[in-house]
Chains A and B, each alone.
Chain A
Amino acid sequence: MPNMEFQLGLALPTPSIIKGFDLNNLGLDHPKDMGGLEARNKPARCFSDKSKRSFEQAFGNFEAECKTKTLLLLWSGQPNEEEDHNDQKKRTFSTIDDRNDAEEVDQVVGWPPIKTWRKKIFQQQQQQHRVGRIGNNRVADKENGSRSIYVKVKMEGVAITRKVDIRLYRSYQTLTNSLITLFAKYKKCADDDYTRYILTYQDKEGDWLIAGDIPWQSFIRSVQRLKIVRNWG
């Protein structure tokens, strides 16, 4: 069965050609690529769990996160006698999605466990009560009641135009991953195995730009349509 190999570079590709469906290396400039995967292979950072941590310590606050590129909270269980420590290190996981362009940070997904529609009501009420306060009025993702934004996605060489709801994604990473999955089956065998693709988008002004340069939140406000083009460079 032909190997569906192609890369979905978000920026101009580096000269090295990378073979294979490699989620770890998508030609991104940012240091942390795969949400969770690299995190899982990193040694754990243990927080003292005996003392109560303030909300800021645990999950950061918006101001702090503007300065850091990534937010990662790792947990590693206390070493058990039976376990060897190699296993222990692999069993790390992040409680917050890794962000490679974290201008705004979401809280932990689904925590505290409040139904979505209740959250909407809180936010509406807070917006009434707290005019001018930055804090909780950030509405970063679909949970907060924003409507879907559908953009057409066309891949060069493929007849069918797909549509995706941009609001479902939190970062370029999750978007490209999803597009890879959507379009992988269109990759024809005839194409060069080393063909690489670039994700471009048309912004509000009608210009076609390469996706990845501007922060995610700006991107989703601006994107009109997406196109995946072959990069022969």
Chain B
Amino acid sequence: MQKKVACSFPDEVLEHVFSFIQSDKDRNAVSMVCKSWYEIERWCRRKIFIGNCYAVSPRMVIRRFPKVRSIELKGKPHFADFNLVPDGWGGYVLPWIAEMAGAYPWLEEIRLKRMVVTDECLELIAKSFKNFKVLVLFSCEGFSTDGLAAIAASCMNLRELDLRDSDVDDLGGHWLSHFPETYTSLVSLNSSCLGSDEVSLSALERLVGRCTNLRTLRLNRAVPLDKIANILGRAPQLVDFGTGTYGADLQSDVFSSLAGAFSSCKELRSLSGFWDVVPAYLPAIYPVCSRLTSLNLSYVTIQSPDLVKLLRHCPSLQRLLVLDYIEDSGLEALSSSCKDLQELRVFPSDPFGEEPNVSLTEQGLVSVCLACPKLQSVLYFCRRMSNVALVTIAQNCPNLTRFRLCIIEPRTADFLTLEPLDVGFGAIVEHCKDLRRLSLSGLLTDRVFEYIGRYAKKLEMLSVAFAGESDLGLHHVLSGCESLRKLEIRDCPFGDKALLANASKLETMRSLWMSSCAVSFGACKLLGQKMPRLNVEVIDESGPPDSRPDSCPVDKLYIYRSVAGPRFDMPPFVWTMDEDSALQVHALHVAEYNRKPDWIGVGTYEESIQGLRAKMPFVLYLAELSNTSQCSSQPLLSGDTTLTPPRPLLRLPIETLESDDKTQRSKEGKYMIKMRYSMNPTICFEIRPISTRSFPGV
């Protein structure tokens, strides 16, 4: 009866109803109801989130969702932030942009995290998407301000350009002047990560002046303090402002114009920046402090009393990022001034120092937790901790959703009792029932993992370092944490047993990272063979893992679920444990080429390689040797030689070749690869069976 009712709605009605459903989870649920709902839903899905760019291929996404307007992609694993993922590992966005350029001409938003983006990608975006509005590059790398200039010049409807934390090759501030004088749509600009000393101030001021909808402006360090007043004067409607350098010789006229500019910003709620602070200039922001909800002082190297003086003016503060110069006394003061605090991040000012340089201990965090009932998110670096402190925190802040504690020295015990901190973290997971993210540190045995497995039912992300005693620890987590999506582990004595025993759990998670643990190469191979929907990647810069016994532990291991199969763009120090490694293609050098327009002669790979020149991204197509003018229309793989060292070896598992011509699969013989985007050298490669133990043979 109900089924009949559902089918009697015309598609347009259902589509209209679905348009009110925004969350991905709900959308996915809708699509599973029945075939017709699946069909309708997929045609009206506008927004896609892909947490791991290698979990699915661009073509698969496009095939299912033909009308996407907004895409979010994440690339490298989180530990890449701390240099644990070698350069060249992957995370290239070019294949995605290349495919979407054709399939989604009306794409409006691209949000990327930890991906490799090149100027060529940015140029392609600028050229391909006529209604492009939002570009967020969070912790990305590989591009320069030239690419940004292309975006600025072409994207007339651009609203948001956010480069937060990205590693940009800053060639100077001239890219800003590429925004045409007629361009006025900017709403949000975050260029705070740009490192050059040069910035085109006049272009910046003109841009700010004509974009009357500007709400967020985060400047980079190169913008001097005495220019802030001018900029703010042109944008009094700002809600979120990040200064550049906030230090200069104290001059009263500069101070007063600065204070005046701030006081005219009635909408300002968030402040950041503050490089090279001169404390005497801080009072200039007092006029806005009472309304501030977010304050990022993580570059501010002033002492606790000055920090406290500032914070006393900010009773509405909900989010604070600060250095440990604030000390326990400052946090105590914070807890009495800022009752609405929801998020606190305390960074170490001297993380590699041998002695503590500030008086910041567990007491500071405890005092905040006792006095700020709304606290939900904590990131805290300190040098000592106790179980009793953690228990106190847990009992007083049951609403914590994110708790990341970093005791700077690994394996530090409870300083009062010299015991492990198992009980303390156990209390955290027991009391904080909505905890979604947890980072552990200090001395920890398997016991803490028992608690986590038992209590942390909503935990989605767990970071573990220098902890545990045996596989039992890992087993507790994998078998107990029902909501676990991301697990990252380093330097723990976890080996094969727990991993293999919980292999199926891994398919329910986004990813698992293990480095400097005790997982053997043999176990990795077994996992890769038994679990075809997992990509088991072994990362080892010291050489091929099969040149050592199977029992040898691998250096780094990254396992993630994927419906796209093993990826094509791995560097030479990454191996995928394939289901069927018997038939693999070893492609030849891809990295070196020049700009000659011809096909290179066919033959051995040496003949096809040309000298390395400008660093350009590329896309490879598969082409039959005998018919060089034709090649498959679908890209075979793509990559980017802007990364260094150049990646000399690609492996293309033949089963995952996606080619229109099915006869090309499993076909031994010589092939030719053609480059796209006007870089036309050819690489020859050969498809032939190899034994599993032979590497790096070509």
Contacts and interface: CB of A to CB of B under 8 A. Distances in A.
B418 A52 contact: yes
Interface in B392-415: 406, 408-413, 415
Contacts of A148: 644
A95 B553 CA distance: 13
Contacts of B465: 111, 113
B209 interface: no
| Interface size of A as a range | 35 or more
A117 B291 CA distance: 30
B516 A94 contact: yes
Given A168-B87, A177-B541, A125 B301 contact: yes
Given A80-B470, A110-B490, A122 B573 contact: no
Nearest to A24: B548
Nearest to A163: B612
A107 B645 CA distance: 24
A162 to B, nearest CB: 7
Nearest to A93: B516
B645 A163 contact: yes
Nearest to A114: B351
B694 interface: yes
Contacts of A108: 410
Interface in B41-88: 79, 81-84, 86-87
B224 to A, nearest CB: 17
Is the contact region of chain B dominated by helix, strand, or loop, or is it mixed?
loop
Contacts of A118: 298, 347
B690 interface: yes
A130 B658 CA distance: 58
A194 B552 CA distance: 27
A95 B644 contact: no
Interface string B551-587: 1110100000000000000001100000000000000
Contact of A23 (B350, B412, B542, B698): B542
A107 B352 contact: yes
A232 interface: no
A58 B410 contact: yes
Nearest to B466: A95
B168 to A, nearest CB: 11
Nearest to B493: A77
Contacts of B350: 122, 126, 136
B644 A181 contact: no
Interface string A101-134: 0000001111111111111011001100100000
18 contacts: A23-B542, A23-B547, A50-B418, A51-B418, A54-B409, A55-B409, A58-B410, A76-B493, A93-B516, A95-B466, A109-B84, A111-B465, A113-B82, A113-B439, A113-B463, A114-B348, A143-B83, A185-B589
Given A52-B418, A90-B551, A185-B649, 9 more contacts: A23-B542, A77-B468, A77-B470, A77-B493, A91-B493, A113-B465, A116-B81, A163-B612, A178-B645
